Amino acid sequence: MTDSQDSDPSRAAAAVSEARQWDRLMQLAKLGAIPGDGVNRPCLSSLDREARRLVIAWAEQAGAAVSIDAAANLFLRREGTDPSLAPVLSGSHMDSQPEGGRFDGIYGVIAGLEAITALNDAGITTRHPIEVVAWTNEEGGRFAPGCMGSMAWSGHAPLTSWSHVADQAGITFAAALAEHLACEADLPHRPLGGTPHAYLEAHIEQGPLLEAAGRDIGVVTGIQGSRWFSVTLIGASAHAGTAPVGLRRDAVQDMVRALNALNTLMHDPDDTLRFTVARIDVTPNTSNSVAGRARFTIDLRHPDAAILHAKGDAIAATVHAAIRHCEAVIEEHFTADPISFHPVVVEAVADAAAAEGLTAQRLPSGAFHDAQFVVPLAPTGMIFVPSKDGISHNPAEYSSPGQLAAGTRVLARSLVALAR
């Protein structure tokens, strides 16, 4: 297949500027910079607005039409030859974790902007418009949960669901959003929602697999499923000096029994299953009073729904069989089934990587992303670039200028292919 010059994806990719993209990322990293090359830029903050104004200025230089919706999602539209067609949407988020890095989220926004700038520079036209989006509050660091912008936009939940959620200063999401929208009252508004032709999000991997395998590009096949539980063990507190061990109802000791049994249940020779116990709360949590209560969380993830369901459903029985002295209360707090991305988008990414001569690996995303809320509305996919040492949500988060540019070349090619 040959392309005419004004729709040749390789010309689009070739016009991607590694230096311009890196420079923009480093300019943005100054807004909320924290020690160790990190970033703390909460959503809907004045830092967030400064960052958005930078991005808007770059978008306007690129001739993109800027608009925002009622959730403060920011859209940068590069028109297609048929403006009546649904846009191909690409983006991510601009907010950071409280002790976050310079690339999580913001890379996907700047990569989208770089891609449309490259299309301009290469004189590429597409039939479908291409829109770059910056979703509001993906991280959930200031207002929990995350992904509010994409959830409201996709109709997953109404925007008012989180009106009363307050940040640590007591400011509600509704108040912060109203303040923010007032600050951006000069920007054109668009209705909340839409049905894009396709959605493609570039993101850092936030895991070690690409680096370990020596691959340039992650062709993301979907998002693994998650089930989150808590296990509360109720025993009886007692004096650490006087209570014989044999007569205790020690919640810490039953927790150890439960964790041993759960470790056996969750053992996966393929190391695909993610079983994490990362929060433990003991009561009264004093060194010389036997624990009367211990609560721990379970974060269970797997890309295969059948395995996720089987392992998750076995947790309660495993805990009950393992413990000796306590009552156990097992609660499930969150479930997300595995999501498969659309073959049209997945193959567009794979083809683009191959055409660029980059090494690629298909893998599911271990983390959540805004992309999952777009899946019900349009063919969706993601591109990953390697994360140094797999580190993310940390100032040490790093991907090199070359790795980031490679991801953007794949994005630019894929967008041309999808918007053709």
> What are the residues binding a second copy (CB under 8 A)?
205-209, 212, 224, 226, 228, 237-247, 250, 252-253, 256, 259-260, 263, 268, 271, 273-282, 285-291, 294, 297-299, 301, 365-368, 390-394
Nearest to a second copy of 115, 231 (CB atom): 231
d(CA 258, CA 326): 11
d(CA 44, CA 4): 43
Closest-CA residue to 23 (of 146, 117, 86): 117
Closest-CA residue to 229 (of 336, 337, 332): 332
Nearest to a second copy of 87, 292 (CB atom): 292
Helix axes 315-322, 305-313, angle to 10 degrees: 30
Nearest distance, CB of residue 277 and a second copy, angstroms: 5
Nearest distance, CB of residue 242 and a second copy, angstroms: 3
Exposure on the CB side of residue 112, measured as CA atoms within 13 A? 33
Please say whether the beta carbons of 42 and 94 come within 8 A.
Answer: no
Nearest distance, CB of residue 316 and a second copy, angstroms: 18
d(CA 26, CA 374): 29
Please say whether the beta carbons of 44 and 141 come within 8 A.
Answer: no
Nearest distance, CB of residue 15 and a second copy, angstroms: 32
Nearest to a second copy of 129, 303 (CB atom): 303
d(CA 233, CA 239): 18
Nearest to a second copy of 153, 368 (CB atom): 368
Nearest to a second copy of 120, 289 (CB atom): 289
* Cβ within 8 Å of residue 95, ≥6 positions away: 41, 42, 43, 48, 105, 136, 137, 138, 139, 141, 142
Four-residue CA torsion sign, 304, 152, 202, 380: positive
Nearest distance, CB of residue 268 and a second copy, angstroms: 7
Cα distances (angstroms) measured from residue 377 to each of 71, 196, 224? 18, 7, 19
Q: What is the DSSP string of 88-128?
A: EEEEEE----TTB-SSTTHHHHHHHHHHHHHHHHHT---SS
Nearest to a second copy of 73, 392 (CB atom): 392
Nearest distance, CB of residue 367 and a second copy, angstroms: 5
Nearest distance, CB of residue 378 and a second copy, angstroms: 24
Query: Per DSSP, what are the bridge partners of residue 239?
Result: 289
Nearest to a second copy of 368, 398 (CB atom): 368
DSSP state of 236: B
Nearest to a second copy of 48, 104 (CB atom): 104
Please say whether the beta carbons of 131 and 88 come within 8 A.
Answer: yes
Nearest to a second copy of 2, 242 (CB atom): 242
Nearest distance, CB of residue 365 and a second copy, angstroms: 8
Nearest distance, CB of residue 347 and a second copy, angstroms: 24
Buried b (16+ CB within 10 A) or exposed e, 126-143: bebbbbbbbbbbbbbbbb
